[in-house]
Structure 1
Amino acid sequence: MPIISTKELDIYYERSEPRANGPILFIGGTGGDLRNKPNQLDCPLAEHFEIISYDQRGLGQTSKPPGPYTMQQYADDAANFLNELEIDSILVMGVSFGGMVAQELIKRHKSRVTKLILACTSSGGAGGSSYPLHELEELEPEEKIKLSIKINDLRINDVWIENNQEQWEFLMLQAQTNTVFKTDRENLLKQLLARKDHDTFDSLKDINVPVFLLGGKYDGIAPKSNMEIIHNEVKDSKLEFYEGGHLFLIQDPEAFKDIIKWLSR
């Protein structure tokens, strides 16, 4: 089992086959656990680029120190991880919560990031926050799943459910069974409460590397308006929206095609 020990954590990570391009540090989202397949190394990028990904603190097979956690810690974890890999600078892709960590990483460790891809994420602060997922933890399990599905894709509303009952039942079943390794509530809350305080808005104007921003047209977790604000603040940025919700990277194959084109330019 590949483990790298930093001064604070034992970090579980995976690394794809070496390619002519890359590597890319791919930072995953809320509750991420690389044991759940497919994972970041199974995405289309891995056909063209070497991918490095890891379980963040409190998740998967990485150490689970006592909380509370902060976004600054998550960013420093990434930097310390790169130190142990002896990587000075790297392409970084962050999805959802991983996009927040990536923003904090370039804010605190600017020289480590050569290019940045941010998908379905928010800056927090004056730039708007993503949906407060910590509030879902107060709901009964079935209500939590129902609301999670709806905010993941705003096309799924009460009218849609009434007209697509069979599909809705399938989505409910899928949501209950789509992860083999589930994060325990205590450690998930540590991540969600750190996420609640995420705010990198004031530092967006200082980003001096090329940035590709991608969002889902029907995302209720990281709304289009939040992605547009990041685009307006970051000087060298490109913004595209795709057919899908928070999971547009899976729903619309054009997204990864565009990432590959952008990285290859």
Structure 2
Amino acid sequence: MSKETLVLLPGLLCDDAVWVHQRQAMGQRVDTVVPHYAELGSIEGMARKVLAEVTAPVFSLAGHSMGGRVALEVVRMAPQRVRRLALLDTGYEPIAAGEAGAQEREKRMKLLQHAKAHGMREMGKLWAPGMVHPDRLASPLFDEILDMIERRTPEQFEAQINALLGRPDAGPVLRKLHCPTALICGREDAWSPYARHEAMSHMVPAQWVTLHAVEHCGHMSTMEQPEAVSALLDIWLSRE
């Protein structure tokens, strides 16, 4: 019997490196696919690309950070294709109105200008410290994250910034979910805090949702605490 397909969606400026441990841990159980977004500039466009590239008619779907937003858009477009959903260190709200939204736009554009002027790795040194638990700064893991950022281009960064600034409200998708849904978040995630995932868990119909905090962990949960995250995803894959 053929194995189930597990689609793993990376976040902003991320690639396969985010999911290395999970692919190794679950490779005998599922066929894993990690789509890439090229230079697409909208969450909707990214979701359409995922749906077009994944050949399995039905699959389990996990998204980290921006990838969680893409995953929710995939569910909105084709709920019949998603057997299970896992959302890791992510969010659901559109950009805020007024001053808060303007500040987010300004901060992101300043990082983009720094990347264009000084390169992606130098931008990452400014941006990425908030991505991990403080104990992991100046660690080999942090260097891996900078390496991953350096593999992206300013053009891809700009496209993904535009996608996030134009992100849709995924609240209605959460409220209509009818598949096993795992919400997983680093306890010390400073970007997509655990409290947001608690709020999301109350939006999903109760019979479908589980909520998990990953201890001693920032935003990059799949890399910071890979064994813990893989174990949680293994349990999620057993749900029907």
Pair in the same fold by TM > 0.5: yes
Runs of 4+ in 1 over 6 A off after TM superposition: none
1:254 to 199, 219, 228: 228
Q: Which has the higher helix share?
A: 2
The answer (yes or no) to whether the contact 2:14–2:148 under 8 Å persists in 1 is: no
Is this contact kept in 2: 1:23–1:51, CA < 8 A?
yes
Give the alignment of 1:1-265 within 5 angstroms: 21-34=3-16, 39=20, 42-58=23-39, 69-82=41-54, 85=55, 87-125=56-94, 134-135=108-109, 136-139=111-114, 144-153=123-132, 155-156=133-134, 168-170=137-139, 174=143, 178-179=147-148, 182-198=151-167, 199-235=169-205, 236-243=208-215, 244-252=217-225, 253-265=227-239
Amino acid of the structure 1 residue aligned with 2:218: G
Identical aligned pairs, as a percentage?
18
Q: Which has the higher contact order (CA 8 A, sep 6+)?
A: 2
Question: Which stretch of structure 1 is more off in the superposition, 103-112 or 251-260?
Answer: 251-260
The Cα offsets for residues 137-176 of structure 1, whole Å up to 9 and x where unpaired, read as: 24475874444343213x53xxx8xxxxxx7555698268
The CA deviation at 1:251 is 2.2
**Structure 1 residue runs without a partner (length 5+):** 1-18, 59-66, 161-166
What's the C-alpha RMSD, in Å, of the aligned pairs? 3.3
> Does the Cα contact within 8 Å between 1:97 and 1:121 map onto a contact in 2?
yes
123 and 176 in structure 1: CA distance in 2 versus 1, 3 angstrom threshold: closer
Report the Cα distance in structure 2 between the residues aligned to 1:248 and 1:217, rounded to whole angstroms: 9
- Output the CA distance in 1 between the equivalents of 2:83 and 2:229: 21
1:261 is aligned with what amino acid? I
Corresponding residue of 1:10 = none
Cα distance in structure 2, aligned partners of 1:256 and 1:214 = 11
State how far apart, in whole Å, the 1-side matches of 2:48 and 2:61 are.
14
TM-score, length-normalised on structure 2? Answer: 0.78
Larger radius of gyration: 1
Which runs of 5 or more residues in structure 2 are unaligned? none
Residues 157-197 of structure 1 deviation map (CA, whole Å, 9 limit, x = unaligned): xxx8xxxxxx7555698268523962110122111211122
CA distance in 1, matches of 2:84, 2:4: 11
CA gap of 1:172–1:53, structure 2 versus 1, over 3 A, is: closer
What TM-score results when the alignment is normalised by the length of structure 1? 0.71
